[in-house]
Amino acid sequence: MTSNFYDKVAKKFGGYAFGKGHVKHLTEYPDGDPEKIFKKKLLGLANKNKIALDAGCGDGKFAFQIAKYFLSITGIDTSKELLKIAGHKRSVLRVKNVIFKLQNAAKTSFPAKSFDVIYSRRGPTPFAEFHRLLKSGGYFIGIDIGEKDCQGIKEIFGRGQDFGQWNTSRLVKDKQELKRVGFEIVFSQDYIYDEYYASHDDLDLFLQGVPIFEDFDSEKDKQSLREYVVNFQTEKGIRFPRHRVVIAAEKP
Q: Give residues in contact with ligand SAM (CB under 6 A).
A: 1, 3, 6, 16-17, 56-58, 62, 76-79, 82, 104-106, 121-124
How many CB atoms sit inside 10 A of residue 38's CB?
Answer: 26
In the complex, what is the shortest distance from the CB of residue 75 to ligand SAM, in angstroms, rounded to a whole number?
8
Residue among 212 and 232 whose Cβ is closer to ligand SAM = 212
* CA-wise closest residue to 142 among 161, 127, 159, 163: 127
List of residues 6+ apart from 79 with CB closer than 8 A: 3, 6, 7, 10, 58
In the complex, what is the shortest distance from the CB of residue 63 to ligand SAM, in angstroms, rounded to a whole number?
9
What φ, ψ does residue 241 adopt, rounded to 5°?
-70, 135
CA 166 – CA 235 distance, rounded (Å): 27
Residue among 89 and 232 whose Cβ is closer to ligand SAM = 89
Instruction: Please give the residue whose beta carbon sits closest to ligand SAM in the complex.
Output: 56
Residue among 34 and 123 whose Cβ is closer to ligand SAM = 123
Query: 233-234 and 51-55 as β-strands: parallel, antiparallel, unpaired?
Result: unpaired
Determine the length of the chain.
252
Residue among 116 and 144 whose Cβ is closer to ligand SAM = 144
Residue among 122 and 154 whose Cβ is closer to ligand SAM = 122
List of residues 6+ apart from 211 with CB closer than 8 A: 1, 5, 6, 161
In the complex, what is the shortest distance from the CB of residue 121 to ligand SAM, in angstroms, rounded to a whole number?
3
- Give the distance, in angstroms, between the CA of residue 151 and the centroid of all CA atoms in the same chain: 18
- The answer to whether 151 and 166 have CB atoms below 8 angstroms apart is yes
In the complex, what is the shortest distance from the CB of residue 111 to ligand SAM, in angstroms, rounded to a whole number?
18
Residue among 7 and 229 whose Cβ is closer to ligand SAM = 7
- The answer to whether 170 and 147 have CB atoms below 8 angstroms apart is yes
In the complex, what is the shortest distance from the CB of residue 55 to ligand SAM, in angstroms, rounded to a whole number?
6
In the complex, what is the shortest distance from the CB of residue 105 to ligand SAM, in angstroms, rounded to a whole number?
4
What φ, ψ does residue 180 adopt, rounded to 5°?
-60, -35
- Give the distance, in angstroms, between the CA of residue 126 and the centroid of all CA atoms in the same chain: 14
Residue among 75 and 237 whose Cβ is closer to ligand SAM = 75
In the complex, what is the shortest distance from the CB of residue 226 to ligand SAM, in angstroms, rounded to a whole number?
27
